[in-house]
Every structure is written in structure tokens, then in C-alpha cells.
């Protein structure tokens, strides 16, 4: 977004036009010559409509939303999961400011850095519209600010930019911007506690390799892994899987036992399929978390239970029967039917299976597929 576009969006008649057309088709708005600056109005309506569920607070305030910042922004539900409190917080990479806005309720003062001058102006304006008065947005890079900072903060928070110059996704902290590893000496000059938000692709073991004394949290929402948080230092190295709205599983790293079930898989013994939340799977805690409640042969697979398991971070479905995977038999049984398919640790994609068996998406039938001890199985679900 350019400065000119921002100035347009701050005009009273443009804000009024956005409000009046907030539920309308953005394409029709863009073509309506009676609407002032219809193209800019339409673009904002488009992203406000998309933000209705992801960023409801910003939507209600009719905030200004640039495309790239929206795509990179945390959802408000994920932002609310940051377990930080104190008097002062320094956010090194503010962006659209949703994390800073959420954490502002737990701090007296938040200093949020944004190196892009237009985005810094937008975020400052959005904070005002949301009624947040204790967030100071500073147009400055993390490197510049830390070079001259003589203030101490209870926490430093950072969500590095994980897009390269060519738009490629970056995962390693050393490759992201700012380079947190290079900045660590300066960060420790202004705080004793650091929180880092990472890509859902970030490796758990890498987190503990870089920060041995830390709490690493894998966060999921609606069955999708959203982020990997590092809180450091932490007295006891701890691994956490948290499914927002569903539950949390926490274990000291030294206590983790990922020894899989060693007994032979006997399909007729099991009555329930246990589908671990993706947060457990990403954290490689499936085997440990389900121990004593379900048999698990791999952290990448399902659990199988004889009795209904309680108090687990997983979904449980009753099994009708289990058979050795036979694609010809599946095609005979399910050709032309609407089938809900779930897979874990299986050497074929859902799309390929549907195509080879001439199945449609739907819920006439439900099946799960996995591999155990080198054999592939089809689990028919009730």
C-alpha cells in the first residue's frame, strides 16, 4: 500500500463508503462510479470481509488492512495464546499488530517496531480505532532500535519475516528477518525473557538445540498447525501441544517416552480409532500422550483403543471393521459413492485414492488408511 492509498482510506467519505458497503460484493463496489475512490473502497471491503472471522476485533473497528500484512498476520485466536505478562513488552516485528494488540491487555506498555513506514502508520491508526492506548508503534528496524536502546523490558517478542526476496518460504531462524540468532547478544541486553513465533514447519528439535532451556509450544486451530512458539529461558525444558478450544498437553522434555507399541497389530481387538490432534503429531507426542489409553505404532499414525479413551487431545471414532488394504476391493465397494477419507502415514494421497477408486467426496461412507509394521490397512468407520 502506498502513502497516497493510505491517505485516501483515512478520508471520512471513504470510511463512510466502506461502512455502507461492508456486506456488498467488492467487485460490484469497484465498478460503482458513485462511490468515492471505489477501487480502494472495494479492496478494503474485500479484506475486511476476509478478516471477519480471522481478525474480528479489527473487522469491528473497520481497520485498514493491506494484503500482504493480512496474509502474514496471526489470527486473533492464535494471538490470544501468547502467555506473556509484565510491565513492559518490546515487539521487534509488529506487522499488522495483532499479537501486540492481544498482549497489550497483559502489559502496562508495549513498544512495537515496524520498519515499513506505511505499515507502521496503518498499525498505529488501527490501534487507535480498536481503542488500544498502551501500544506505541515505532517506525524502526529491530537492529536500529536495539543498537540505541537503554531501556529494560520484561519480555521481548519477535515474529520474524519468513519470506525471502523472491517470495520463498523460510524456516531457519538464521535466514529470517531479523536474524534472531545474530541479534541475541543485543536482545539479552534489554531483557531476560524472549518469545519467538516460528513457522508451523519449524523443527521441534531445532528449537531445543538453539535454546536448550526453553518451553516449546505447538499451536493448532481447527485441525491445522498454526505456529511453533519458543519461550526462553525456562527452568525445565518443556514441550507443549495446544489445540485452541480443545485442550493442552504439556510434558517435561526429559520425561518423553516415544517407545511405540511393540505387540503385533490384531485388528479385531480394537473398537475405536483415535485421531491425534495435529499439534500432538507435530510435537511428536502422539505415542507418549496416548500411552495407556490407545496403542500407537508411530507418532505419524493413528491410535487404536479397545475402550473409549477419555481426556486426550484427539478425536475418537468407533470402528466398524478393519481390513488389509486392497484397492480393487475398495473400488468395488465404494465406486461412485461419497467417501470421507482420512490418512496418516500412508503411501498414497487422498486425491490419488479417489481417482483410482472412482470415489467422490462426501459422507456416505467414512474410512481411514494407515500403515502398521509395513502393512497397509483400511479402517471402516461407523
Mean pLDDT of 114-130: 96
Asked whether residue 166 carries a pLDDT value surpassing 70, the answer given is: no
Out of 67-81, 282-296, 358-372, pick the least confident: 67-81
CATH 3.40.50.150 residue window(s) in the chain = 72-254
**pLDDT of 74:** 84
Output the average pLDDT for the chain. Answer: 94
How many angstroms separate the CA atoms of 76 and 205, rounded?
27
**pLDDT of 23:** 96
At which residue does the C-alpha cell 505419524 appear?
300
**pLDDT of 165:** 65
Q: Sheet harboring 314-324: ordered strands across?
A: 295-296, 303-305, 272-276, 314-324, 375-381, 360-372, 338-344
Asked whether residue 83 carries a pLDDT value surpassing 90, the answer given is: no
Please state, as a whole number, how many other Cβ atoms lie within 10 Å of the Cβ of residue 108: 11
**pLDDT of 176:** 83
C-alpha cell of residue 21:
458497503
Mean pLDDT of 89-103: 96
Asked whether residue 167 carries a pLDDT value surpassing 70, the answer given is: no
Asked whether residue 169 carries a pLDDT value surpassing 80, the answer given is: no
pLDDT tier, 253 (very low <50, low <70, confident <90, very high otherwise): very high
pLDDT tier, 257 (very low <50, low <70, confident <90, very high otherwise): very high
How many angstroms separate the CA atoms of 205 and 209, rounded?
6
pLDDT tens, residue by residue, 324-339: 999 999 999 999 999 9
pTM (global) more than 0.85: yes
- Torsion angle, alpha carbons of 244, 245, 249, 253, to 10: 10
**pLDDT of 164:** 66
Report the relative pairing of strands 338-344 and 360-372 from DSSP bridges.
parallel
Q: What is the CATH number of domain 72-254?
A: 3.40.50.150
Asked whether residue 155 carries a pLDDT value surpassing 90, the answer given is: yes
**pLDDT of 161:** 84
pLDDT tens, residue by residue, 219-241: 999 999 999 999 999 999 999 99
CA angle 331, 335, 337 (to 5 degrees): 135
Asked whether residue 97 carries a pLDDT value surpassing 70, the answer given is: yes
How many angstroms separate the CA atoms of 109 and 88, rounded?
5
Q: What is the residue-wise DSSP string for 99-155?
A: HHHHHGGG-SEEEEE-SSHHHHHHHHHHHHHTT--SEEEE---HHHHHHH----BSE
Asked whether residue 51 carries a pLDDT value surpassing 80, the answer given is: yes
**H helical segments located in 223-297:** 278-282, 286-290
CA angle 71, 73, 78 (to 5 degrees): 125
Asked whether residue 162 carries a pLDDT value surpassing 80, the answer given is: no
Mean pLDDT of 299-318: 95
C-alpha cell of residue 212:
536448550
How many angstroms separate the CA atoms of 221 and 244, rounded?
5
How many angstroms separate the CA atoms of 339 and 327, rounded?
14
Amino acid at each position: 500500500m502506498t502513502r497516497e492509498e493510505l491517505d485516501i482510506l483515512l478520508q471520512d467519505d471513504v470510511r463512510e463508503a466502506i461502512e455502507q458497503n461492508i456486506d456488498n460484493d467488492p467487485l460490484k463496489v469497484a465498478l460503482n462510479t458513485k462511490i468515492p475512490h471505489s477501487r480502494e473502497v472495494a479492496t478494503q471491503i474485500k479484506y475486511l470481509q476476509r478478516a471477519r472471522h480471522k481478525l474480528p476485533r479489527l473487522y469491528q473497528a473497520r481497520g485498514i488492512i493491506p494484503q500482504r500484512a493480512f496474509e502474514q498476520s496471526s489470527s486473533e485466536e492464535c494471538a490470544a495464546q501468547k502467555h506473556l505478562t509484565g510491565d513492559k513488552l518490546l515487539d521487534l516485528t509488529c506487522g499488522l499488530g495483532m499479537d501486540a494488540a492481544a498482549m497489550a491487555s497483559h502489559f502496562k506498555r508495549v513498544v512495537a517496531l515496524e520498519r515499513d513506514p506505511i505499515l507502521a502508520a496503518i498499525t498505529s491508526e488501527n490501534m487507535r480505532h480498536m481503542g488500544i492506548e498502551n501500544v506505541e508503534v515505532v517506525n524502526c528496524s529491530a537492529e536500529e532500535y536495539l543498537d540505541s536502546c537503554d531501556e529494560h523490558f520484561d519480555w521481548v517478542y519477535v515474529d520474524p519475516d519468513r519470506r525471502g526476496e523472491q517470495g520463498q518460504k523460510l524456516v531457519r531462524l538464521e535466514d529470517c528477518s531479523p536474524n534472531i540468532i545474530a541479534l541475541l547478544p543485543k536482545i539479552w541486553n534489554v531483557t531476560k525473557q524472549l518469545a519467538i513465533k516460528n513457522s508451523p514447519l519449524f523443527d521441534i528439535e531445532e528449537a531445543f538445540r538453539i535454546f536448550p532451556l526453553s518451553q516449546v509450544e505447538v499451536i493448532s486451530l481447527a485441525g491445522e498447525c498454526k505456529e511453533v512458539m519458543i519461550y526462553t529461558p525456562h527452568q525445565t525444558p518443556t514441550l507443549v501441544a495446544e489445540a485452541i478450544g480443545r485442550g493442552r498437553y504439556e510434558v517435561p522434555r526429559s520425561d518423553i517416552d516415544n517407545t511405540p507399541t511393540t505387540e503385533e497389530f490384531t485388528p479385531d481387538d480394537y473398537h475405536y480409532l483415535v485421531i491425534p490432534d495435529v499439534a500432538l503429531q507435530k510435537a511428536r507426542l502422539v505415542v507418549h500422550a496416548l500411552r495407556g489409553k490407545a496403542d500407537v505404532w508411530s507418532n505419524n499414525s493413528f491410535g487404536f483403543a479397545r475402550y473409549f479413551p477419555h481426556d486426550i487431545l484427539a478425536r475418537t471414532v468407533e470402528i466398524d471393521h478393519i481390513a488389509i488394504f486392497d484397492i480393487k476391493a475398495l473400488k468395488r465397494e465404494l465406486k461412485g459413492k461419497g467417501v470421507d477419507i482420512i490418512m496418516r502415514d500412508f503411501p498414497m494421497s487422498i486425491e490419488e485414492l479417489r481417482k483410482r477408486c472412482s470415489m467422490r467426496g462426501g459422507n456416505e461412507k467414512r474410512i481411514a488408511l494407515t500403515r502398521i509394521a509395513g502393512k497397509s490397512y483400511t479402517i471402516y468407520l461407523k
